[in-house]
Chain A
Amino acid sequence: MNLLEIKNLGISFGGLRAVDDFNLTIREGQLYGLIGPNGAGKTTVFNLLTGVYRPTTGKIFLKGQNITGKSSIEINKAGIARTFQNIRLFKNMTVLENVKVGLHNRENYGVISSLLKLPGYRAAERRIEERAMELLQVFSLEEDAHHLASNLPYGKQRKLEIARALASAPTLLLLDEPAAGMNPQETAELMEMIRFVQKKFDVTILLIEHDMKLVLGICEEITVLNFGCLLAQGETASVLKDPRVIKAYLGD
């Protein structure tokens, strides 16, 4: 079944067409890659998908439901969560609290019941604590649970961001350059982790990446963007051999 369908998506900033006539279909359970040279519009696509920008043309469907032009909050509730190219953690909160914020909408006790500490509040807080610790264990961050997020080393910050995104129980997880700034060994570990996460949380993943080894290693299919336009689409290995793709990356 198709989880995500993007049809003729486009956005212009003034006279600049940042993304133009972009089409993409992702099936449930896929690990999909989105690549392209710098400035191709990859992150813009993510921003369109998560409601940061409103598309000027085109439509986005998640599980057949039209989510075009909806707010980030509604889109998150519909089932999309993301990480950021430049890590955006809640730096002055602990690692555990970061994940707990991700669990925000999984419990819905009101302000009053938190002020009066009603029984419902206590039970919900206990569930939140348990779930958050479980998530941290999956990413082997439980030792750091009570450290400030800003004190984590870079690799762990990346992991925490993924854990936090998964906490909101998405069906589609968007990873924006998860391997940026990592050495080859860390990247290899990350590849394993992404595969593991996809199985464990039964989530579909769309990722932007520049590390071709990683893309070739885990993505079944990819889409290549160049200057906001779709350049090539299909099975990873064959797309990467496409002369147009090589030309876009390396020039003539």
Chain B
Amino acid sequence: MKNDIVKSEKKSNITGSSLLIRILVVVGIYALVSALMLTGNMSRSWESLSIRICFNVILALSLNLVVGFLGELSLGHAGFYAVGAYAGSMFAVYTDFPMFVRIIGAVLVGALSAGIAGFLISSSILKLKGDYLAIVTLAFGEIIRSFVKILPGTGGTAGLSGIPAFPSRYVGFTFAYAFVILTLIILKCFINSRHGRAVTAIRDNVISAEMLGININRYKVTVFVIASVLAGVAGVIFSFFKTMIEPNDFSYNLSIEILVMVVIGGMGNLTGSIIAAGVIVVVPELLRALEDYRMLMYAIVLIAVMLINESPKKAQFIERYSPKVLLKKLLRKGEKKSESA
């Protein structure tokens, strides 16, 4: 009994310090990037890359909730992203509030509209599974894009311009980064609750989940709504970053690219999605020097990452050198020292 208490204390100690590590990583990355930006040590292309990474991370994380945790293949994520981008930027373009209000308002409007789109689409595809669901979501993504073209006020195929830009790249980055963290917190909280467990249970075994009284349809809709709200927010950040959006920014190629991020990062692995989104945004830029061979190399890099991800050597490496393990070793060493002392 006494032993048990000691064990649980140790455990909470470790989770406490891993929370500390997470906060340090989050603050550290922000401090590093903003220091580089503010001292003018970052090139313009890297400044915009850092913002692009942010909204791509949000996209990958939110799609991971659908694909990795709920286990449904959605190929229409760019559609929700488009709804958020257009609704948000139309709010910003056609209203006359101060800048700050326009940005916040745009995020709220974008998130809400994308959420509604997510609700409507997901409740209409509840009976579909697997490939069929993938095809229909793909179609919905394209329908949204075509719809945008004919809707008044969206600028049609020429695109919507005059979207207010962030006052500076630094502000833009801070804004986008804040939403990345918010997305992470929302997803972590959701996944670790009874709702998140229900969603994972549906992925692992629908019949068992249903027999335990889990409302499959309700959770499918919930997951789609959360994912599309987050994609909508990413869309708003994107439109403020680019200041001019057109329907072709949201083609199904983008949906596939987001899916690639999720698959490469690992289904149901949030950290993986973040890293993969970063890699997929950065790699094509790094390969720019190769010109014609760029996309070829890009494909090779993707294949290499997949192979490495699957290899047992990687698992061994993580077993030995992951921060958690290193921390445990450190704690153990400290204990031994205090014991011997």
Contacts and interface: CB of A to CB of B under 8 A. Distances in A.
Interface of A: 50, 52, 72-73, 76-77, 81-82, 84, 88-93, 97, 100-105, 107, 109, 111, 114-117, 121, 124-125, 128, 164-165, 167-168
B308 interface: no
A52 B206 CA distance: 12
A88 B208 contact: yes
20 contacts: A73-B210, A88-B208, A89-B204, A89-B208, A91-B205, A92-B203, A97-B197, A101-B212, A101-B214, A102-B212, A109-B193, A111-B190, A111-B195, A114-B194, A115-B189, A116-B189, A121-B193, A124-B194, A128-B194, A168-B212
B190 A105 contact: no
Nearest to B214: A104
A115 B201 CA distance: 19
B49 interface: no
Given A91-B204, A93-B197, A101-B198, A114 B212 contact: no
A82 B194 contact: no
B204 A77 contact: no
Nearest to A164: B212
Contacts of A52: 207
A100 B197 contact: yes
A168 B213 CA distance: 8
Contacts of B205: 88-91
Interface residues of B, number: 26
A83 B210 CA distance: 12
A252 B7 CA distance: 63
Contacts of A104: 194, 197-198, 212-214
B211 A90 contact: no
Contacts of B192: 114
Contacts of A93: 197, 200-201, 204
B194 A109 contact: yes
A115 B188 CA distance: 8
B186 interface: yes
Nearest to B268: A92
A101 B209 contact: yes
Contact of A114 (B190, B204, B208): B190
Interface string B113-145: 000000000000000000000000000000000
B236 to A, nearest CB: 20
What are the 5 tightest A-B residue pairs by CB atom distance, in nearest-first order? Answer: A114-B193, A76-B213, A90-B204, A88-B208, A101-B201
Interface string B175-187: 0000000000010
